Amino acid sequence: MNTDILLLNSTYSTLLIGAAVGSVAGYIGSLMVTKRMTLTAGALGHLTLPGVALALRYHFDVSIGAILFLIAGITLIWLLEKRTDTPIEALTAIVFTSSVAIAFLFLPDQGTETALLGNISQISLFTTILTCLASGLIFIISRYIYKNMILISLSKEIAQAKNIPVARYNFIYLVCIALMIALGVRIVGGLMTAALVAIPASTSRNMSTNLFQYTYLSLACGGFSCITGILLTQLTTIPVGSAIILTSSLLFIVSLIFKRGV
């Protein structure tokens, strides 16, 4: 009986985390698709892998390891950009591929699938609460900056003329993306973070006629895909990250039927 209760609580925890992270990833993904920055999420996902590897080896939270290495990687790219003439795209490629190589120096054999494809089979109550609170905070901040970020992406000059602090908003936006990636690594691993934000937003884009529909359908598609993927994992042997992304991809294919040409 106690085992059944523990399993039930674990199921609720994984579904809560999936709903929270998936929904907010879809929401912030709608902005990333608009700004053509979804591939950034993939690069950032690779940056998390050394942190995830260390977390698995020394048994601490993977999101903590992920965010520490994200901060280190982003800082390193920023410093190299200031001190060299190398294009930022090349610097990003150098740093994130080096991160993958470093990750496999520390990654325990039994942790490979978790690092690459995600794993939320054992989640504590504290982790569940913290993840849901962090996701909620990212959503609130993203919602606050959303319209100004759209304006900045359309015309930086107009945004500056309206006294919008462009540099500050861009920094806040990047921090939100980094935090979202750190949370997303737990459920889809370091290889598929770009899909976690890009596919729900692309699905929503096929079915939306205005900005409100686009943003909140992205949120709904992200949450639905994660919840469905988690349930599918519990019924099969498919890794959770693969199940979530395959569910999201199937939803995208279905959305093509209802595409409105916007």
For residue 141, the model assigns a pLDDT of: 93
Whole-angstrom CA distances from 138 to 61, 177, 180, 181, 202 are 19, 9, 7, 11, 20
Tokens of 259: 């595409």
Q: Of 21, 27, 17, which is closest to residue 141 (Cα–Cα)?
A: 27
Whole-angstrom CA distances from 237 to 116, 172, 240, 241, 244 are 16, 39, 9, 12, 13
| pLDDT tens digits for range 99-146 | 777 777 777 766 565 666 666 766 777 788 888 899 999 999 999 988
The whole-angstrom distance between residue 95's C-alpha and the CA centroid of its chain comes to 19
- Contact (CB, 8 A) for 211 and 70: no
- Which structural domains are found in the chain, ordered by start? 2-258 (1.10.3470.10)
Computed on alpha carbons and rounded to an integer, the radius of gyration of the chain in Å comes to 18
Q: Which amino acid is at 169?
A: Y
For residue 185, the model assigns a pLDDT of: 80
Tokens of 211: 């900005």
Q: Of 38, 17, 31, which is closest to residue 216 (Cα–Cα)?
A: 31
Alpha carbons 252 and 176: distance in angstroms, whole number: 25
Supply φ then ψ for residue 107, to 5 degrees. -70, 120
| pLDDT tens digits for range 76-92 | 877 776 677 776 667 77
Higher local confidence (pLDDT), 93 or 201: 201
Higher local confidence (pLDDT), 81 or 247: 247
Alpha carbons 134 and 19: distance in angstroms, whole number: 13
For residue 3, the model assigns a pLDDT of: 43
The mean pLDDT value for 237-243 works out to 84
Alpha carbons 119 and 18: distance in angstroms, whole number: 11
Alpha carbons 217 and 114: distance in angstroms, whole number: 29
Q: Of 256, 205, 260, which is closest to residue 30 (Cα–Cα)?
A: 205
Tokens of 91: 């610097």
For residue 88, the model assigns a pLDDT of: 62
